[in-house]
Amino acid sequence: MSINIEILGSGSEVGRSSIVVSGKKRVVMDCGVKIQPEPPKYPPVEKVDAAIISHAHLDHVGAVPMLFRKGKIPVYMNDITLELGTMLVKDSMKVARKEGFTVPFDKSHVNRMVKNTKIVRYNEKFRIGEFNCSLWHSGHIPGSSSIMLDAGKKIFYTADIQTRPSHLLNPCQLPDKVDTLILESTYGMKVQALRAKEEKRLVDAVEETLSNDGVALMPVFAVGRAQEVMLVLKDYMNKIALDGMVKLASEIVAQYGSYIKAPKEFRNILKKVKFIRTNEDRAGALKKYPIIIASAGMLGGGPAVHYLREIQSFGDAKVLFTGFLVEESPGRNLIETKIFENDEERFHVSGDLQQLELSAHADRNGLLDIIRKTRPEKVICVHGDKCAEFAKDIEEEFKVQAYAPKNGESIRV
């Protein structure tokens, strides 16, 4: 029986991942929203029989409640992904409302998502129609999963994946033979700097900040990156304050400790860093805590923007980005132009702006390694700015068929 793979979102773009695999049943893998650049964009997801969600980042989970506008379906994910994902979805609704964007679902749909979620563990088999399904540890954030769908032919969707270990997580687990590999391609055309070198750059920047009585703002993704950065900077715990969704996300990660490498160490860090809880806390934060870890990671909103304004008055002010910055996001624009701009304001940032590569994604070498290990016949590149170039390189190197579909395109496997 032939199987059709339809790309609804993440085709040659980073954001709104949504891929439908259909045989007799239609299964959607991920259902995310693209929040940057604004306005938010949702995938045109139509009647599906079930959903499987890889991890709790908005571009993978942010549109799941849309699936409950007409009736209900089972949604499969692990427990930490449901908890973190629900937090992110609720927050994104608030943000969208505040900025005047319409959201194609409401609170009742979020509640139905939670009610209809079936919790599955890593490597636990579950069945959707003809598909034998399982989640594989993908090493990207706590709870992140690659998804295997096996209906005679094996389809393996990496989702966001990391082949290298981090302080927070072990590297991904991979099957040794698949038929079709749906490969995230965020860094398909880029080899990252050595991790140890980047961590040293981060520690050096923090040291310099402290010795100059300066301040360092780290805009981070609340889920994953924030916790990794805290582990890298564990020697500076009493100098660090957390603000924004980073706080709740970190508490959830600590609660679901079995998903991370060193839960005890992480819980200990959380006890020692400052949680900014009130406006008063926030107003005085920079004078007491020279290192601020705050969401949002791409400066699309959140308290990070407040601190960005405030740090200007310090002699040594740094902004340290540690994650992927989507094209045209305020963070990417700031790094490129030294100008911060959103709908409400525009200002020049005179501080020291750095981007560090502590990525939670595999780089080009890691992605090529995944192909080597999983030995697919077909590779479908998604979730990247340069999917077409990457797919061409893959065809040349591995003599397999490689695709870089656009949104709305389908591939028969």
Residue ranges that bind Zn ion, judged by CB under 5 A:
57, 160
Complex with Zn ion: residue 57 or 318, whichever CB lies closer: 57
CB of 153 to Zn ion, least distance (A): 26
Q: Which two tokens mark 336?
A: 């490129």
In the bound state with Zn ion, the residue whose beta carbon lies nearer, of 83 and 160, is 160
- DSSP string for 269-291: HHHHSEE--SHHHHHHHHHH-SE
Output the smallest distance, CB 56 to Zn ion, in A: 8
- Provide the CB-side half-sphere exposure for 218 (13 A, CA): 29
Measured from the CB of residue 160, what is the shortest distance to Zn ion in angstroms? 4
Collapsing DSSP states into helix, strand and coil, what is residue 1?
coil
SS3 117: strand
> Is 69 in contact with 158 (CB distance < 8 Å)?
no
3-state secondary structure of 289: coil
Three-state SS at 182: strand
Direct distance between the N- and C-terminal alpha carbons of the chain, in angstroms, rounded to an integer:
9
- Provide, rounded to whole angstroms, the least separation between the CB of residue 122 and Zn ion: 17
Instruction: Give the nearest distance from C-beta 22 to Zn ion in angstroms.
Output: 24
- In terms of C-beta density within 10 A (0-12 exposed, 13-18 middle, 19 or more buried), how is residue 175 classed? middle
CB 168 within 8 A of CB 231: yes
Radius of gyration of the chain (CA): 21
Strands 346-348 and 274-275 turn out to be unpaired
| Residues contacting 277, CB < 8 A, separation 6+ | none
Q: Which is nearer to Zn ion, 222 or 391 (CB)?
A: 222
As given in the structure block, the two tokens for residue 98 are 């505040």
Question: Strands 215-219 and 317-321: what pairing?
Answer: parallel
Residue 57 or 247 having the CB closest to Zn ion? 57
Taking the CB of residue 32, how many other CB atoms lie within 10 A of it?
A: 27
Nearer to Zn ion, 160 or 243 (CB): 160
C-alpha distance from residue 342 to each of 7, 124, 270, 301, 351 (Å): 30, 44, 32, 9, 19
Distance of closest approach, residue 17 Cβ to Zn ion, in angstroms: 9
Shorter beta-carbon distance to Zn ion: residue 160 or 357: 160
**By C-beta, is 160 or 199 nearer to Zn ion?**
160
Spell out the alpha helix ranges (H) of 53-170: 58-61, 79-98, 107-115
Nearer to Zn ion, 150 or 160 (CB): 160
Task: Please state the closest distance from residue 311 (CB atom) to Zn ion, in A.
Answer: 27
H or E segment and range at residue 274: strand 274-275
CB of 383: closest distance to Zn ion in angstroms?
Answer: 9
Of the pair 184, 199, the CB lying nearest Zn ion is at 184
- What is the nearest approach in angstroms of Zn ion to the Cβ of residue 34? 13
